[in-house]
Structure 1
Amino acid sequence: MTKIILLSHSGYEIDKRLAAEVPNIDVIVGGHSHTLLSSTDPKAAGPYPTLVKRPDGRDVPIVQAYAYSKYLGKLTVTFDDEGHVTKADGAPILLDASVPEDEAVKARVAELAKPLEEIKAQVVAEAAAPIDGQRDTCRVAECEMGNVVADAILDRTKNQGTTIAIGNGGNVRASIDAGPITMGEVLTVLPFQNTLATFQLSGAEIRRALENGVSKVEEGAGRFPQVAGIQFDWSRKGAPGVERVRAVRVRNAAGEWVPIEPEGTYTVVSNNFLRQGGDGYDVFERDARNAYDFGPNMEDAVIAYLQNGNSPYKASTDGRIREVE
């Protein structure tokens, strides 16, 4: 009998919907929302496992164990002869100092890491001042690291006629200190090995993308847009996904900022995760024309930008994203 275990990266709330609405799922092991589930911790968002009835009335166990390897999830599932779940129990295990390291594995990891450490230690540029890439900044507003990345990918593709860059705050994972910038620091900022993606959209479609980007700012969602070659004003008072974006401006041939043309066609660069509909950017997946999703890598574009007359780099924000009433 087939047993279906769904490895999900959609978040706890969506996992519960999947369990309730999609037939034949037996177990969901989830991620993305960094949710701690526990039957003993009062701070947990729900029990471990969380049981949700699927369409045929059987319970689907859902588990998730927070993030950053702070916990190891352990789940034991019992199936009957027909492949149905009859029992599911377990708990997240806190990986604190009471859990001893496996010395053999630790030594092997250190051995394999040596050549990587040499690469990570290479100095690729210099920062004149710290570059802010904090989660609390880049997921709610224009941030310095978001500008670095957006400016870099736009610079990398400008010879293709690209005039707008739209990234996501969730793609930025760290700040960089003042002084030498190493390859390791760049890879810490951009750890996902995403590639550049270029495509064409209308002005109206770009506006819809920005609406998605600011639709979940209260949750600190990673979809918040970090941009280059475009300015936009937004307000928390508008209906999420519908009317939060109040104005969008692009540069005309004279270099002046003018309202975006809803029917105009613009060439955009983003990362392949967003181009494929990640973080709710369905408009990129559904409506993109002349799309190319395959490179180069984001980190390579950033390093090239820093080395191309922008080192030492002085971080700043310039008002390209403004929150208004």
Structure 2
Amino acid sequence: MKRILLAAGSLVALSAGAASAEYSLTILHTNDFHARFEPISAYDSTCSEEDNTAGECFGGSARLVTAVAQARARSNNSILVDGGDQFQGTLFYTYYKGAAAAEMMNKMGYDAMTVGNHEFDDGPEVLRGFVDTVDFPVLMSNADVSGEPLLSDAIQKSVVLERGGERLGLIGLTPIDTPELASPGRNVIFTEPADAVQGEIDRLKAEGVNKFIVLSHSGYGVDLALAEAVPEIDVIVGGHTNTLLSNTQERAVGPYPTMVGTTAVVSAYAYGKFLGELNVTFDDDGVITEAVGEPVIMDASVTEDVGTKARISELAVPLDEIRNQVIGESAGPIEGDRSVCRVMECEMGNLVADAMLERVRDQGIQIAIANSGGLRASIDAGEVTMGEVLTVLPFQNTLSTFQVTGEELLAALENGVSQVADVAGRFPQVAGMKFTWSEAAEPGSRIVEAMVETAPGSYEPIDPEATYGVVSNNFVRNGGDGYAMFVNASNAYDFGPDLADVTAEYLAANTPYTPIVTGRITKAE
């Protein structure tokens, strides 16, 4: 069995003996960019030009263009790849869909990317348009697309690149639960990652390829398990869980690279805040003998490319009127980071859930449930713009109202806490109720207590036999994030106002807004 090596430094030496024909390669990589073409703040949200000039912003395509060029200059042999989820996250995607991402990725000269679940947010049609526009292959090995006419001749399972006189096998992976996370349609059938990757490796080996790089939009935990299951993989470029691997950053989940035997696993957080830079050396059998690297932070020390910045500003013109509108102010930062909101009650979750419930309370709705995966950023203190709200809630989800039994509601809460260890987006933020859950309890019995609010500050236990009015968003109501128990709900109406508009109106009506955590969600010891 392979052993995970947690390197103390950035150098991982795997063999004392020198190979007879060493081959060196620099793998530059990004993941989970989510349409952050402009610089972002420390909260991964909108950053003003004033703050950017003051050196307080990160990322943006203009910095990435510079950083990629500098990294290529440091290497005699490099590739640039992406771990998926270029789509969705700002008004740029809402307005341009995949066109802006294709333009910027072509400009930087990407060599390949894998399909992320958000590439399916607008169905196969928008993904096909993106694939037809980019100058590089888009990969997905663990899905059968033969039954989907829009994708059957567009998506490849793997590709062979020639670089520095050697052949590299690149294999794509997409989350197996993508049908729960996005809208791939019924014609795309997803399969287990290890079997799919092994099948591609076997096929490529028969063609004489012995160096294998997996672009995996599957999450850090899946990547580590995949490296154990398929030891012939040389490098896994990760995505999906926004994992930061680093030897210098305090927030890092693990070292860069994390070694599982001779497999190097890397991931560079998200939103263009880092450019991953892994330098690997292979022996003549295609086995890594050395792996060294560190994500390069895209802070003010990286000069923005002038031409790219001008182009992004041009693309932003149609968006500015909407996003620059000040809708209110916040008395403090509103915490919306995924590492918080996907495991516990959070300020952003309370804001959104309260806004949802307030909008439809007079319709007999008692409870609001917001999936934390729909919350994409925090908001800092001070003026709040519509652009910031749209960065938090970019999916154009609409309010959905419906009725379910208490039994179904309890099942929904069970689903919501079922993947906390994976920091999954199904974790529920709530209003009009409170609940206590136990991570140690057996699946199906993790909800220790659930109470519905009957009057301000007064609660009673949820009755499995009673019927409750619930508001959520159309994604959740239609089974997204595992909420299958809502699909056949009674009196369902999925066509309410946009969730971002509802939240903005609530902020405006309650400005200055004070972020709150009230004990709605507690964890049993």
Shorter-chain TM-score tier: 0.7 to 0.9
- Letter paired with 1:315: P
Residue 225 (structure 1) shift: 0.5
- Letter paired with 1:10: P
1:141 aligned partner: 344
Q: Does 1:227 align with 2:430?
A: yes
Structure 1, residues 94-130: CA drift from partner, whole Å, max 9, x if none? 9998x99987665443212123123222110111122
Q: Does 1:296 align with 2:497?
A: yes
| Conserved? CA contact 2:335–2:348, under 8 Å | yes
1:87 aligned partner: none
1:318 aligned partner: 518
Residue 11 (structure 1) shift: 4.9
Residue 290 (structure 1) shift: 1.6
Residue 243 (structure 1) shift: 0.8
2:478 aligned partner: 276
1:175 aligned partner: 378
The aligned runs of 1:51-90 (5 Å cut-off) are 68=271
The 1:29/1:172 distance shift into structure 2, 3 A limit, reads same
Residue 183 (structure 1) shift: 1.0
How much is the aligned-residue C-alpha RMSD, in angstroms? 4.1
Q: Does 1:17 align with 2:192?
A: yes
Q: Secondary structure at the match of 1:185?
A: helix
| Conserved? CA contact 1:11–1:31, under 8 Å | no
The aligned runs of 1:74-223 (5 Å cut-off) are 107-223=310-426
Q: Does 1:33 align with 2:229?
A: no
Structure 1, residues 194-213: CA drift from partner, whole Å, max 9, x if none? 11111111000000000011
Residue 218 (structure 1) shift: 1.6
TM-score after normalising by structure 2: 0.47
The 1:322/1:255 distance shift into structure 2, 3 A limit, reads closer
1:83 aligned partner: none
Residue 255 (structure 1) shift: 6.7
Instruction: Select which of 267, 276, 286 maps to 2:469.
Output: 267
Extract unaligned runs of 5+ from structure 1: 49-63, 73-93
Residue 154 (structure 1) shift: 0.7
Q: Secondary structure at the match of 2:505?
A: helix
Higher mean C-alpha displacement, 139-148 vs 103-112: 103-112
Residue 167 (structure 1) shift: 0.8
For residues 153 and 187 of structure 1, the distance between their equivalents in structure 2, rounded to whole angstroms, comes to 15
Q: Secondary structure at the match of 1:221?
A: coil
For residues 512 and 366 of structure 2, the distance between their equivalents in structure 1, rounded to whole angstroms, comes to 25
Q: Secondary structure at the match of 1:223?
A: coil
Residue 68 (structure 1) shift: 3.8
The 1:175/1:66 distance shift into structure 2, 3 A limit, reads closer
The 1:313/1:46 distance shift into structure 2, 3 A limit, reads farther
Q: Secondary structure at the match of 2:192?
A: helix
The 1:32/1:313 distance shift into structure 2, 3 A limit, reads farther
| Conserved? CA contact 2:330–2:514, under 8 Å | yes
Q: Secondary structure at the match of 1:186?
A: helix
- Letter paired with 2:516: S
Higher mean C-alpha displacement, 187-196 vs 200-209: 187-196
| Conserved? CA contact 1:11–1:33, under 8 Å | no
For residues 404 and 177 of structure 2, the distance between their equivalents in structure 1, rounded to whole angstroms, comes to 32
1:55 aligned partner: none
The 1:32/1:127 distance shift into structure 2, 3 A limit, reads farther
For residues 12 and 245 of structure 1, the distance between their equivalents in structure 2, rounded to whole angstroms, comes to 23
The 1:316/1:306 distance shift into structure 2, 3 A limit, reads same
| Conserved? CA contact 1:128–1:314, under 8 Å | yes
For residues 185 and 13 of structure 1, the distance between their equivalents in structure 2, rounded to whole angstroms, comes to 27
Residue 319 (structure 1) shift: 1.0
2:442 aligned partner: 239
For residues 230 and 262 of structure 1, the distance between their equivalents in structure 2, rounded to whole angstroms, comes to 15
Residue 311 (structure 1) shift: 0.7
For residues 460 and 383 of structure 2, the distance between their equivalents in structure 1, rounded to whole angstroms, comes to 38
- Letter paired with 1:199: F
| Conserved? CA contact 2:376–2:392, under 8 Å | yes
For residues 244 and 217 of structure 1, the distance between their equivalents in structure 2, rounded to whole angstroms, comes to 11
For residues 284 and 245 of structure 1, the distance between their equivalents in structure 2, rounded to whole angstroms, comes to 18
- The percent identity for this pair of structures is 50
The 1:102/1:223 distance shift into structure 2, 3 A limit, reads same
| Conserved? CA contact 1:129–1:179, under 8 Å | yes
Structure 1, residues 140-196: CA drift from partner, whole Å, max 9, x if none? 111111000000011111122111100111211222121111111111211222111
Q: Secondary structure at the match of 2:496?
A: coil
The 1:114/1:47 distance shift into structure 2, 3 A limit, reads farther
For residues 234 and 358 of structure 2, the distance between their equivalents in structure 1, rounded to whole angstroms, comes to 47
Extract unaligned runs of 5+ from structure 2: 1-145, 147-151, 158-171, 180-189, 204-213, 224-232, 237-255, 277-294
